[in-house]
Structure 1
Amino acid sequence: MKIRVVSSKEEINNIGPNEEMIHLAFRPSNTDILTLITNCPDVKALHIPTSYIKTISKSTQMFLDMKGVALIEGDVWGHRKDINEYSEVSETVYERFDQFRKDGFSDDEIAAKMERELHMSTDLIKFLLKNKK
């Protein structure tokens, strides 16, 4: 899965309508999130750093729930926006998920095992497990 990394408010209007997952590397306002959801009707999740997610209003959280958009806490580690505007979850990650499932692990156990290894938040790993293609 590709995660579109957005570093500033100015980038919101340049995002294509087909994005499914977006990481906001800045503190978004309610207006920023509304604009983003309007511009990207196919978005399934917004990934926001821990320090910023706490500032998202309850009304915006309710709006995202109504639209079926997951609000995921976490960061994109080791990504350089100047090289690529996307951070990508490799196919080997999904293969590891499959192997853990075959071994009888629950999604919670898989997330706990893979969190440190992948440098991803538990929320993001659980989202990927749930929405595996």
Structure 2
Amino acid sequence: MKIRVVSSRDEILSLNPNEKVIHLAFRPSNKDIFLLVEICPRLEIVQLPKSYQKTISKSMEMFLEMQKIQLIEGDVWGHRKDINEYYTVPPSVMTKIRNMQAEGIPGEKIAEKITKESKLNPKMILYILNRKQLE
């Protein structure tokens, strides 16, 4: 699974409209988020670092909720934007998630275990689990 990393508001206009998961590596304004939702109509998740998420207004949280877009806290550890604009969830993590799901382990337990091993946010892991098909 790929997460599109956006490091400045100037990049929003150049995003692919089919993006579903975006990590904002800058502190977005309400205007930035409205533009993001307009440019990417299929958007399902906006991920922000913890310090930035605290600055999002309640009205913006409600707007995203009405659009059925999850706002989650998290980072893309070790990602170098100058090398690739996408952060890819490691195949080994995707394999572990698939195997645990095949064993019938509940989603919450999978999220708990994988979070400790991969630094992915539990909500991101639950999103991966709930996708119709794992990549």
**What is the distance in 1 between the residues matched to 2:29 and 2:83?**
26
Q: Is 1:122 matched up with 2:118?
A: no
Using the size of structure 1 for normalisation, the TM-score is: 0.92
- Segments of 5+ residues of structure 1 without an aligned counterpart are none
Separation in 2, partners of 1:82, 1:76: 14
Offset, 1:103: 2.8
Once residues 102 and 26 of structure 1 are traced to their aligned partners in structure 2, the CA distance between those partners, rounded to angstroms, is 37
Tell me how far 1:91 sits from its aligned partner. Answer: 4.0
Question: Deviation of residue 92 (structure 1)?
Answer: 3.6
Higher deviation after alignment, 86-95 or 21-30:
86-95
Contact 2:8 2:26 in 1 (8 A): yes
Whole-Å separation in 1 of the counterparts to 2:77 and 2:90:
14
Which residue number corresponds to residue 80 of structure 2?
A: 80
Instruction: Name structure 2 gaps, 5 residues minimum.
Output: none
CA contact (8 A) 1:24 1:46 kept: yes
Report Cα offsets for 1:31-70 as digits up to 9, x if no partner.
1000000011011110111111111111111111111111
How many correspondences in the alignment? 133
1:115 and 1:122 in contact (8 A); partners too: yes
Alpha-carbon spacing, 1:132–1:76, altered in 2? closer, same or farther (3 Å): farther
Q: CA deviation at 1:11?
A: 1.0
TM-score when normalising by structure 2: 0.91
Contact 2:93–2:114 (Cα < 8 Å) also in 1 = no
SS of the residue 2:47 aligns to: strand
